[in-house]
Structure 1
Amino acid sequence: MTSNDGVTALQRAVAMMDAELNVAEVPDYSGAMNGLQLEGKGTVTRIGAAVDASLPVVEKAVASGCDLLLVHHGMFWQGAQPVTGSMFRKLKLAMDAGMAIYSSHIPLDVHPMLGNNECLAKAIGMDSPEPFFPWKGIELGLQQPMEISLDELVARVGDATGAAVHHCPGRADSTVGRVGVITGGAGSEVAAIAAAGVDTFITGEGPHWSYPLAEELGVNLIYAGHYATETFGVRALAKWLANRFGAEHLFLDHPTGL
């Protein structure tokens, strides 16, 4: 539906999300292309949320009648590519259905209310986390001391994500000490995390060498899955937007197991 001033519901939704997520100011990787990635028919009546803008996800969204799909990892992570094969099928399917696609990566990781870090931190009992870990002029994660055992924290992380959790018990003390959270694939930063004073680091995934390094550095390392730690933000954003438009919203689960 178009308002009296000629602005579509989609245009209003995009403007609201761009402003709330501070898309213009938050840095990111070049392939993220945060914001509206594919224009649709302009309506916002059924909002789908997903981690990845993959062909199976687009198929699920179209089959579910979504006119707006919100994702964390957009369509252009691999850079410029021919619009052939699966890319062609994905775009054609979405365009034929009039479905718009909006993507938000780092802006949705670090948002103080809707962000992946914030939502996961709250879910595991961090009640007053503070930003930490400088990256390109912003603070990429959250940290807070916690007085619980590592076993309890691992159980909480598993309950929050609903996924398998792999951990390295590198810290000599049975308690977790200062806990840091950076969702996604931040495992390669374990040395910098330790230098920042974090005793237990929660992220999604990382390279093999991060495990023995965490042992050497005396840091507990908790890998809860890249996908599993990044479902929180898109779900929160979809609910936030749906409440403002009186729209339906649903989560399109398509786990990678990574």
Structure 2
Amino acid sequence: MASLHEIVAFLDGELGIPGIPDYSGAVNGLQLENGGSVTKVAAAVDASLPVVEAAVAAGADLLVVHHGMFWQGTQPLTRAFYKKIKTAMDAGLAIYSAHLPLDVHPVLGNNALLAAELGLEVRGKFLEWKNLQIGLLCRARTSRDALKSRLEEAVGGPVHVCPGGPEDIRVIGLCTGGAGSQIAEAAAAGVDTFITGEGPHWSYPLAEELGVNLFYAGHYATETFGVKALADRLARDFALEQVFIDHPTGL
């Protein structure tokens, strides 16, 4: 058994929660507390009702997620939102969320872990947002088809490719999640290939016009890495059981 207060203090410090800007709905950090103790941690991408129910069924008393409960902003405690909060509180399930702080972490972050899975050499950062660089610049010597195969193996599913750039790849930009709309910034940074999770429809034709390969590997699929790593770290450092709640969206 571990102290929820000690776990939260560790996560806040390790992820730099107080000092990293984020979207207003992210509400990074502890979003729902429990009675103060933790024996089993569950990790998941989204704090959705099905995930909360699965975490409770698994016997977890701490759920660590990438996308928290407040993405839609202030909302009444009714219907599904009420059921989600009540289910968690009745079961003593605390919920902790880390969005951009988990994306950009140099060891536990989604970007760093996906780059490592792909065997990429990280050379720097790019894609500035509120003075925070949220993407990685990587060097590689590979082909477009070979990178696609490696990426599909890493995320465990299909990857959609806009073959707008060269077949022989040398400079890769990587930003997990929904960064496809930043294709122009990626091209301006000198990448010939940009890997992300998803993007708007117009990002594909724009990538073609800019001469950049654009890999859409799935928003969900590219953001499973960080929460899994956090659960592993908590299980090791605090002697906890752990479980990953896999609830893919297909997006």
- What is the TM-score with the length of structure 1 in the denominator? 0.95
Tell me which residue corresponds to 1:18: 12
In structure 1, what is the equivalent of residue 220 of structure 2? 227
The answer to whether 1:187 aligns with 2:174 is: no
Q: Unaligned stretches of 5+ in structure 1? A: 2-7
CA distance in 2, matches of 1:44, 1:151: 45
Matched, 1:214 2:207: yes
Pairs within 5 Å for 1:33-44: 33-44=27-38
Q: Does 1:197 align with 2:190?
A: yes
The Cα offsets for residues 89-140 of structure 1, whole Å up to 9 and x where unpaired, read as 1111100000100000000000000000000000011133422222211111
Aligned positions, number: 251
Residue type of the alignment partner of 1:182: C
1:86 and 2:80 aligned = yes
Structure 1 position 230, deviation (Å): 0.4
Residue identity matched to 2:100: I
Change beyond 3 A, Cα 1:229–1:43? same
Please give the alpha-carbon distance, in whole angstroms, between the structure 2 residues aligned to 1:80 and 1:45.
Answer: 31
Alpha-carbon distance in structure 2 between the residues aligned to 1:155 and 1:200: 15
- Cα root mean square deviation, aligned: 1.0
Task: Give 3-state SS (helix, strand or coil) of 2:18's partner.
Answer: coil
Corresponding residue of 1:32: 26
Structure 1 distance, partners of 2:232, 2:181, is: 32
Residue 247 of structure 2: aligned partner: 254
Give the Cα separation in 1 of the matches to 2:97 and 2:123.
Answer: 26
Contact 1:45 1:245 in 2 (8 A): no
How far off its partner does 1:41 sit? 2.1
Check the 8 A contact 1:158/1:224 in 2, yes or no: yes
* 2:155 is equivalent to residue 157 of structure 1: no
Equivalences for residues 54-93 of structure 1 within 5 A: 54-93=48-87
Q: Secondary structure at the match of 2:121?
A: coil
The answer for the alignment partner of 2:171 in structure 1 is 178
Alignment correspondent of 2:237: 244
Instruction: Tell me the secondary structure at the aligned position of residue 80 of structure 1.
Output: coil
- Asked if the contact 1:41/1:67 (under 8 Å) is kept, the reply is no
Partners of 2:40 and 2:241 lie apart in 1 by: 5
Quick one: distance in 1 between partners of 2:184 and 2:135?
15
**Of the candidates 160, 163, 171, which is equivalent to residue 169 of structure 1?**
163
* CA contact 1:126–1:146 (8 Å) conserved in 2: yes
Cα deviation for residue 192 of structure 1 reads 1.0
| Structure 2 Cα separation of the partners of residues 67 and 183 of structure 1 | 28
Identity of aligned residues (%): 62
Superposition misfits of 4+ residues, deviation over 4 angstroms = none
What residue identity is the alignment partner of 2:225?
F
> What is the CA deviation profile of residues 216-247 of structure 1, one whole-angstrom value per residue up to 9, with x for unaligned ones?
11000000000000000000011111111100
Q: Counterparts of 1:105-184 in structure 2 under 5 Å?
A: 105-171=99-165, 173-184=166-177
What is the alpha-carbon distance in structure 2 between the residues aligned to residue 237 and residue 161 of structure 1?
18
| Unmatched tracts of structure 2, length 5 or more | none
Residues in 1 aligned to 2:199 and 2:52: alpha-carbon distance in whole angstroms: 27
The residue aligned with 1:53 is 47
Letter in 2 for 1:94: A
TM-score relative to the length of structure 2: 0.98
